[in-house]
Amino acid sequence: MRKFSKAEVAEFYRRLAETRPIPRTELEFINPFTLLVAVVLSAQATDVGVNKATPALFALADTPGKMVALGEERVAGLIRTIGLYRTKAKNVVALSRILVEKYRGQVPADRELLQELPGVGRKTANVVMNVAFEEPTIAVDTHIFRVGNRTGLAPGRNPFEVEQRLEAVTPPQYKLHAHHWLILHGRHVCKARKPECPDCVVASLCRYPAKTVPDGWVAAKAQAAAAALKEARRPPARSPARR
Ligand code: SF4
């Protein structure tokens, strides 16, 4: 697979950015603590499923202190529609207790400290650092792992390798939102079973050999897009000077 040039990487992100200028997480949250809890609950579950359960949970417990007071049994009952809910309830209450005892009820803005909390791995810590604290971290989940490998933008044998590759190739101006652009692209366009290549803005850059449209079609679409961009950038013609 031919490697991306620097210019191609920049163009890849430019097109994703044009599609979603300010991308946002699809998880619902109120503050850094509820974001942390929502991300812990989203492991091996969909954001839609988590969003169905969390409003009732966060209405009762939007701080670590309230979550500890609620207790494991009640938390489990409120999130029982989410997979692995018993383990997750245990982790959520345990991490809340640590936040109360060690960090005065605050979520630490530090990836290593976050990873010490129960149920918090590197991916969860990266999401919290990015969304709550606006750090340019790139959390690699199943969607980003697939997009990185399939397109050839950031190939890697495991999420850590893809993360390292993305860190290395992503231009600084795109790093803050790279995580969301890639995840939303993977979730809504470059889907696992059948990618929607005909509607994909990066199709002409993507190296995936099994695109769901022929290469000739992609090339023609890329030409048309380049022509439209050139036209849009052309300065407006001046009207003749009035006498
Ligand atoms: S062209 Fe197809 S495979 Fe490549 S990124 Fe787009 S949707 Fe994914």
Q: Give the closest residue (by CA) to ligand 1 atom 8.
A: 190
User: At the topology level of CATH, where does 1-23+136-231 sit?
Assistant: Endonuclease Iii, domain 2 (1.10.1670)
Q: What is the spatial distance between Cα 75 and Cα 89, in angstroms, rounded to a whole number?
A: 6
In this prediction, residue 240 has a pLDDT band, given cuts at 50, 70 and 90, of low
Domain-wise residue ranges, the chain: 1-23+136-231, 32-131
Retrieve residue 195's tokens.
């990618």
* CATH superfamily of domain region 32-131: Hypothetical protein; domain 2 (1.10.340.30)
Question: Do 39 and 27 form a contact (C-beta atoms < 8 A)?
Answer: yes
123 included as an active-site residue: yes
Q: Which atom of ligand 1 is nearest to the CA of 201?
A: 6
Residue whose CB lies within 8 A of the most ligand 1 atoms, among 211, 217, 218, for a mutation test: 211
- How deeply is 215 buried, as exposed, middle or buried, from its count of CB atoms within 10 A (0-12, 13-18, 19+)? exposed
Which DSSP letter does residue 24 get? -
Average pLDDT over residues 144-150: 97
CA distance 65 to 172: 38
Atom of ligand 1 nearest to the CA of 150: 3
Residue 238: per-residue pLDDT: 67
Q: What is the pTM of this model?
A: 0.84
Whether 219 has a pLDDT exceeding 80, the answer reads no
Helix (H) or strand (E) holding 204: none
Q: Which of 6, 62, 102, 141 is catalytic?
A: 141
Q: What is the pLDDT of residue 226?
A: 76
Distance of CA 187 to the CA centre of its chain: 9
Stated length of the chain: 243
141 is catalytic: yes
103-133 pLDDT, tens per residue? 999 999 999 999 999 999 999 999 999 999 9
Q: Which of 123, 211, 215, 221 is catalytic?
A: 123
**Residue 235: what pLDDT?**
77
